[in-house]
């Protein structure tokens, strides 16, 4: 049995060990729980109290001795639903203060660079690029290499990204290596609100020129994204992109 699922729903290591011990023991006093779980007496009472509050453990009194037992396993589902409800409320509360946070951030014309590692990091930085843009706005990109684009994982990522872009009705222009012309003609990588041109220019790394940020991505054994947030640098790259766009072929 994979008890790690309990960690995924937010239980601590101690709570998992106590819950698991009780599941095997059935009804038990703290002595039996401590022996089975390896949790010390100074901690087991606190852990049991937390599990009781979460509705995962209950107790009865037998011969003046408090005995504990796990509740119906379906109570774990109830616990998950309650967490889901709490998270939704927290999400809504946070959404309400986002404008206030942005107004504070907006007072500072910050320029900075960040490095994101891993697939989730790359997903985050691309989502940031879309979130700062409004419907009808446009950004440009220099495409990744032939080798990277023929990687199914990379292709799926960009197709999902452009579905989000299309949903927001954000326009995009891309300049891609000529060797990928047939690839793009056979596959609907970008979707609607897009234009693409081809050029013999080989960029060493894929680059997206957003509203206020430049994103450069390297796909490989360790996926890495470099993000530069600077209106000044973005404007310089936009000029460069438009010059290359005029030279590129449809």
Q: What digits encode the pLDDT tens for the residues 53-76?
A: 888 998 988 888 899 999 888 888
Residues 185 and 142: their CA atoms lie apart, in Å, by 17
Residue 119 neighbours by CB distance under 10 Å: 14
User: Same domain, yes or no, for 218 and 117?
Assistant: yes
Mean pLDDT of 83-88: 87
User: Domain check: are 55 and 122 in the same one?
Assistant: no
DSSP three-state, residue 169: coil
User: Radius of gyration of the chain from Cα atoms?
Assistant: 27
| 104 within a domain of the structure (yes/no) | no
- Which pLDDT band, with edges at 50, 70 and 90, does 17 fall under? very high
Range of the domain at 30: 5-75
Alpha helices in 54-151 (DSSP H): 74-105, 118-131, 146-149
pLDDT digits (tens, 9 = 90+) for 109-159: 578 889 998 888 999 999 989 998 999 999 999 988 777 877 889 889 999
Query: Which pLDDT belongs to residue 108?
Result: 54
CATH number of the domain to which 203 belongs = 3.30.870.10
Q: Identify whether residues 143 and 239 lie together within a single domain.
A: yes
Q: Are 136 and 222 members of one domain?
A: yes
Would residue 102 count as lying in a domain?
Answer: no
Counted residue by residue, the chain has a size of: 250
Q: Which two tokens stand for residue 171?
A: 């326009």
Q: Which helix (H) or strand (E) holds 26?
A: none
CATH number where 28 lies: 1.10.10.10
- Among 54, 75, 96, give the residue marking a domain's end: 75
pLDDT in tens, 202-244: 777 889 999 999 999 998 888 899 999 998 899 999 999 999 9
Q: How many domains does the chain have?
A: 2
pLDDT score for 171 = 95
Are residues 44 and 121 located together in one domain of the fold?
Answer: no
Residue 28 lies in a domain: yes
| Domain closes at, from 31, 54, 75 | 75
What average pLDDT does the segment 154-175 reach?
A: 92
Residue 65 lies in a domain: yes
Quote the pLDDT of residue 109: 58
Query: Is residue 13 in a domain?
Result: yes
Please report the pLDDT score of residue 107 as a whole number. 55
pTM: 0.58
């Amino acid at each position: 049995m994979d008890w790690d699922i309990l960690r995924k729903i937010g239980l601590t290591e101690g709570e998992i060990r106590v819950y698991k011990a009780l599941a095997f023991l059935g009804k038990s006093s703290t002595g039996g729980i401590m022996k089975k779980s390896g949790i010390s007496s100074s901690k087991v009472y606190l852990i049991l109290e937390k599990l009781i509050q979460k509705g995962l453990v209950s107790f009865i009194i037998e011969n003046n001795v408090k005995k504990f037992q796990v509740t119906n396993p379906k109570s774990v589902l109830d616990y998950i639903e309650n967490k889901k409800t709490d998270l939704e409320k927290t999400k809504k509360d946070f959404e309400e203060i986002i404008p206030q946070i942005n107004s504070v951030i907006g007072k500072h014309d910050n320029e900075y660079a960040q490095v994101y590692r891993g697939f989730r990091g790359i997903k985050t930085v691309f989502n940031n690029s879309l979130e700062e843009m409004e419907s009808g706005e446009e950004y440009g990109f220099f495409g990744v290499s032939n080798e990277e684009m023929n990687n199914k994982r990379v292709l799926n990522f960009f197709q999902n990204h452009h579905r989000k872009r299309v949903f927001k009705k954000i326009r995009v222009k891309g300049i891609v290596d000529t060797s990928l012309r047939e690839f793009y003609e056979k596959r609907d990588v970008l979707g609607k609100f897009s234009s693409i041109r081809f050029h013999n220019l080989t960029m060493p790394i894929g680059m997206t020129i957003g509203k206020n940020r430049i994103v450069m991505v390297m796909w490989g054994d360790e996926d890495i994204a470099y993000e530069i947030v600077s209106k000044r640098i973005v404007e310089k790259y936009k000029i460069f992109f438009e010059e290359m766009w005029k030279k590129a072929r449809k």
